[in-house]
Amino acid sequence: MKVVERDLRAIRDAGRKVLVGYFMGGVTPDWTDHVEAAILAGVDAVEIGIPFSDPMMDGIVIQQAALRALDRGTTVDSVCADLERLRHTVPLLAMTYYNVFHHYGLERSAGLLATSGLSGTIVPDLPLEEATPWRTACDEHGLATVFLVAPSTTPERVRRLAEATEGFAYATARMAVTGRSSGTGDGERVVASIRLVSSVPTYIGIGITTGEQAQAAATVSDGVIVGSALVQVILDGGGPRGIEDLVRTFRTAIDRGTESVA
């Protein structure tokens, strides 16, 4: 079991719902300050986006952030260099598209991510059937490989993905890109399908942009993933204080829901 999964299982065993925040690397010169603010406010893990020009899973907000980061010259190297100044006490996971790592070199990518303090990766366009080379490179450097499970995933494929994923399973609540949505989608059903075959921590993401949505999703899962709402604060110039305030809103909503269930 990878270190990140051990730590996330320990949080679940302690009765706490996990809040994962997503941030686009390189979107501003001080982007790591936003990450530190989120950690201070109560996130339990952070996804670090490495910008890519043609994302398949990201909605308009994260696309805009990626383009801004690319315009600033952001690369795998620059994101990892920035991470050297990041003060963190929670797991960090890189999230990007396979073209980035394939172009950079799988072994080189995994090694650089590991030495920069990351403990896992999420590559949404890399199918399980083609993931062996990347998983091998990650294994050599102690990195977890997180897989996504969609509302359309068949039971047999859910089983295979749940067996393969490390750290946690990413339960996508919608057949959609990231961004604002109404309601809670199919997250509960996806989580239930994973729990039938695995005890891996399972978090709901895609479309979680309000405290109410986060609270509802957390009551039927082990945690939630929030991305676009946080990135929008940065694009709007809200700064680290704006991030801290928003994360505390999500944290309070999630914890209140946990208390009401208990």
pLDDT tens-digit readout, 194-239: 999 999 999 999 889 999 999 999 999 999 999 999 999 999 999 9
Distance, in Å, from the CA atom of 31 to the CA atom of 239, rounded to the nearest integer, reads: 9
Residue 163: what residue type?
Answer: E
In the chain, domain spans: 3-145+204-261
Contacts of 212 (CB under 8 A, 6+ apart): 253
Q: What is the mean pLDDT of the chain?
A: 92
Give me the residues paired with residue 19 across strands.
Answer: 224
Identify which of 100, 132, 125 has the alpha carbon closest to the alpha carbon of residue 113. Answer: 100
Give 74-127 pLDDT, tens digit per residue. 999 999 999 988 888 899 999 999 999 999 999 999 999 999 999 999 999 999
- Label residue 178 by pLDDT band (50, 70, 90): low
Main-chain phi, psi angles of 145, to 5 degrees? -115, 115
Contacts of 254 (CB under 8 A, 6+ apart): 17, 19, 211, 214, 215, 218, 223, 224
pLDDT for the residue numbered 1: 83
How many residues can be counted in the chain?
Answer: 262
Residue 47 annotated to the active site: yes
Answer whether residue 66 shows pLDDT above 80: yes
With b for 16 or more beta-carbon neighbours within 10 A and e for fewer, the 189-223 pattern comes to ebbebbbeebebbbbbbbbbbbbebbbbbbebbbb
Alpha helices in 72-170 (DSSP H): 76-83, 98-104, 106-115, 132-140, 155-164
Residue 36 annotated to the active site: no
State what percent of residues in the chain have pLDDT above 90.
84
- Label residue 175 by pLDDT band (50, 70, 90): very low
pTM of the model: 0.93
Contacts of 27 (CB under 8 A, 6+ apart): 51, 65, 66, 68, 69, 72, 74, 231, 234, 235
Of the listed ranges 6-10, 65-69, 256-260, the one predicted with least confidence: 256-260
pLDDT for the residue numbered 59: 77
Please tell us whether the domain made up of 3-145+204-261 is placed in CATH 3.20.20.70: yes
Distance, in Å, from the CA atom of 168 to the CA atom of 93, rounded to the nearest integer, reads: 11
Q: Which of 58, 82, 166, 186 is catalytic?
A: 58
Give me the residues paired with residue 102 across strands.
Answer: none
Q: Which of 44, 47, 82, 166 is catalytic?
A: 47
User: What angle, rounded to 10 degrees, do the helices at 106-115 and 76-83 form?
Assistant: 20
